[in-house]
Each structure stands twice: as structure tokens, then as C-alpha cells.
Amino acid sequence: MNIFTDIVTAVKLTKEVKRARRLGCRVDTIWTKVFPDKTNKASYWPWTMEFCHFATTELNAPIRAVFETFDEETRHALTFTPENPTEPAGWIERARFWQQALKPALPPQQYYAAMSEIWKDYNRAMQATRVARMGREAG
């Protein structure tokens, strides 16, 4: 922990307490210790675009199994669309990422079915974003 951020936080907290007391509020300080919950590891999978497409298909389980092997930063990043969703570059990069991840993990038939759907889905998303943006600009 950075001692300076702790000091800044303490000063801000002290100011808030003094301001509240000046206004006549009752202020009680309660010390608590927070422990991370290691038993409940919620998955990022349901928050991804890929889940939305594969949730009801037989490809959901194998693709999710691959997804769960990614590090947490990558899983979290996949819950967002590319930075500029109307441009193809971000979608192409995302699809290539899935190609590299799925090809060694899935049988060829499942791999080709999954990638076909991913490419179609990304194309639909890009087109829908473009249409929505044109509508906002026209309106």
C-alpha cells in the first residue's frame, strides 16, 4: 500500500467527519476488517458477447471451458466491446484472439462452427452500432 494515498484518504475522511459534525450530524466511527471472499468466484462468461450468442447451443460448454482458462484481466476485457465498435479493426482482433484460443481446444467441426458464428455475430454488432450512430447523428 502506498502510505501517501492512505494519508490523503485519512485527511479527506477527517474533513468529511468535521463537516458533518458542524452541520449537527451524529458521527460514529466503526472499524471493520474486510476479508476477500475466495469461495464465490463469479465468472465473467455471462457478461460476454460470446455467451449471449452461444448460451443456448451445444458450443456453450466447450467455449466457456476455454474462456475460463484465460487470466482474469483477459476475461474482464472480453466483457466489453472494442474501443471503437463501428470500425472493423477491434472486431477482427477479437475474432483472431478467439481463433488462436479455440483452434487447439476444439475438434475441427466445432471450431469452424464456433468461428463462423463469432464472425457473423461481430459483423452484426458492428453494423448495428453503425446504424445506431447514424440515427443519433441524423436526429
Residue 101 pLDDT exceeds 90:
yes
- pLDDT, residue 6, reads 79
CB contact burial 119-131 (16+ within 10 A = b; e otherwise):
eebbeebbeebee
Average pLDDT taken over every residue of the chain: 85
Model pLDDT for residues 25-61, shown as the tens digit of each residue: 887 777 777 666 555 567 899 999 999 889 899 999 9
Model pLDDT for residues 60-97, shown as the tens digit of each residue: 999 999 999 999 999 999 998 888 877 888 899 999 99
What residue spans define the domains of the chain? 45-138
